[in-house]
Amino acid sequence: MLVVFLWGMTPLVTLKLYDYYSPAFRLFLSEVSLVAFYLCVAHRNLGELNRSYFRTAVPIGCFYAAANVLQNVGLAYTTPAKYAFLENLSVLVVPFLSYFLTRKKPTVFHILASALCLFSAFALNGLFNGQGFSVGLGEILCGLAGIFYGVNIAGTGACIKKFNATLYLLIQSAISMIFSLATALILNVIPTTDAAGNATVIEPLVATFEPLPLIALVVSTILISGVGWILRTNAQKHVDAVTVGVIMPFAAVVTSVMSVLLGSDTLTSDLLIGGGVGIASIFLSEFGDHFKEKKKNPPPSSDEEAEPNP
């Protein structure tokens, strides 16, 4: 839940930084900061890196990197609230991939929670505003990012218990750093035309090295992304991947509230319904975890001495 509140601030900070950096290049600078941060945290454990880390973290990290690029580029074409909720389309794939990878069958509560979370994403995008469901480029990119994040959550949940979380994240961020730099360079050379018919490129590479924006980027990246990813990845050693996939949508509620307060979004019935359903899905998922744990460790019968549950 602490990570949820940290990540709820991410879209608002990121959108403000777009005044100084193009989306893909801002992501590149953030990943450079994360790699440096993880190296500082895990420098004494670098000797533990082996082929097993790379065989696992590289393919899962590619989905993380692709999701990062899609989401950061997509934010420039949508609102923070939609960006945040569409990220959580990961709930579509996490239960099924978790079952495929670990053979842990999701409970009925987990499936229902995933469906409610998906419904909340639709609600946030205009299901009840009387104007129809609207989907643009930004929504498509953020939705695809959400699905790729789901693959990352499920894959991490299946393997993270045997790895050092910070080393695992170091590899992921290094891959994302390469992806984002390549994206920034490619989008800067692909020709297109603007609304006025003038020749331009898809995303001109924009960057400023003024001290204040650069410090804000590095500090926000380390405090929000660096600390957040370490906390969440370690938490996945103790929390079911499906639960992680369903809890994370609450970050979108935090984003939406802050976005309304700061004037980036307006308070609508869609926001209220989507946020309320998203919160309900979290409680359902937690109930599913409690039910699964109770079934796995039933209370002792009355004629047996109760043993402490380790």
* Helical (H) or strand (E) element with 201: strand 199-201
From the CA atom positions of the chain, what is the Rg in Å? 20
Contact criterion met (CB below 8 Å) for 122 and 139: no
Most confident of 76-90, 177-191, 226-240, 281-295: 177-191
Structure tokens at 49: 């890196």
DSSP string, 7-60: HHTHHHHHHHHTTTS-HHHHHHHHHHHHHHHHHHHHGGGGGG--HHHHHHHHHH
pLDDT at 221: 92
Mean pLDDT to the nearest integer, 218-229: 89
Structure tokens at 128: 């009840």
Is the pLDDT confidence value at 303 over 60? Answer: no
- Tell me the per-residue pLDDT of 15-42, one tens digit each, with 9 for 90 and over: 889 889 998 999 999 999 999 999 999 9
* Distant-in-sequence contacts of 38-41, Cβ < 8 A, 24+ apart: 38/166, 38/167, 38/169, 38/170, 38/173, 38/226, 39/170, 41/166, 41/230
pLDDT band at 305 (very low <50, low <70, confident <90, very high): very low
Who wins on pLDDT, 199 or 297? 199
pLDDT at 300: 54
The amino acid that residue 14 corresponds to is T
Is the pLDDT confidence value at 71 over 50? Answer: yes
- Tell me the per-residue pLDDT of 135-159, one tens digit each, with 9 for 90 and over: 678 888 888 888 888 888 888 888 8
Is the pLDDT confidence value at 308 over 90? Answer: no
Who wins on pLDDT, 133 or 162? 162
pLDDT at 128: 61
Is the pLDDT confidence value at 265 over 80? Answer: no
pLDDT band at 242 (very low <50, low <70, confident <90, very high): low
